[in-house]
Each structure stands twice: as C-alpha cells, then as structure tokens.
Amino acid sequence: MRYMAKQPADEQILKGLLDALVLDALRAGPNYGFGIREQLHRRLGPDADILKEATLYPLLHRLERNGLLASHHEPGERGSPRKYYRLTPEGRDFLQRRIHEWTRVSALLQRTLLTPGP
C-alpha cells in the first residue's frame, strides 16, 4: 500500500485541534470571524496556514449549531454588521474536556514516539 501525503486520519486530527483552538480563542471574550482568524494566526506563527478562511467560517457555524458557541450581530466599522461569537457554558465544558484529552495525547506521544527507544 502506498503512503498518501494527506490521509483522512490526518484531517480528523487537524479538525479536532482547530475546534479546540477556535474555542480557546473565544475564552477571553466575544470576537468576530476575522478577529478570531487574526488572533489564531498570531498564535500559530509559522503554522498559521492550517487555518484557512474557507475552513474557519464553516467551523464556526458547526460549533454554533452544536451549541458550543452563540452569536449576535453588531454594527461593523464600514456599516456592514459583524457576527460576533462567544462561548456558551457547553462550549467551555467541551473545551476543558478537549484540553484534557490533548494533554493526555501529548504525554503519550512524548513517552512513546517522541522519545528515542533502546
């Protein structure tokens, strides 16, 4: 079997990570899509390309549909209203569970694949 550069499992791992990153970006308070994207691009640095605009907005809509985010509209600087997102209590709980899970995965990787064996 030939190795493929981007396998579905890779996409699922990335999707789970992006969900947590977006929820975490909203822990400090409400923000709109472009503001969330800019905040995450600063935090991700050289890996910022994992969060594309075409990925962010469907992700925000899915998190809102699932009750993890709530939204409201506010006037924008140029007259167009902006949709602001905020964490719901369910979103905060979900994020805490994800942080716990990612901490376990990180520790497991450190003990196994990232540590040279005998």
Domains within the chain, CATH numbers bracketed: 12-111 (1.10.10.10)
pLDDT tier, 1 (very low <50, low <70, confident <90, very high otherwise): very low
Of residues 76 and 4, the one with the higher pLDDT is: 76
pLDDT of residue 7: 59
pTM summary value: 0.84
Residue 4 has a pLDDT of 53
Q: Is the pLDDT of residue 41 over 90?
A: yes
The whole-number average pLDDT for the span 107-112 is: 93
pLDDT for 110 beyond 60: yes
Q: Which residue matches tokens 């497991």? A: 108
The answer to whether residues 60 and 69 touch, using CB atoms and an 8 Å cutoff, is: yes
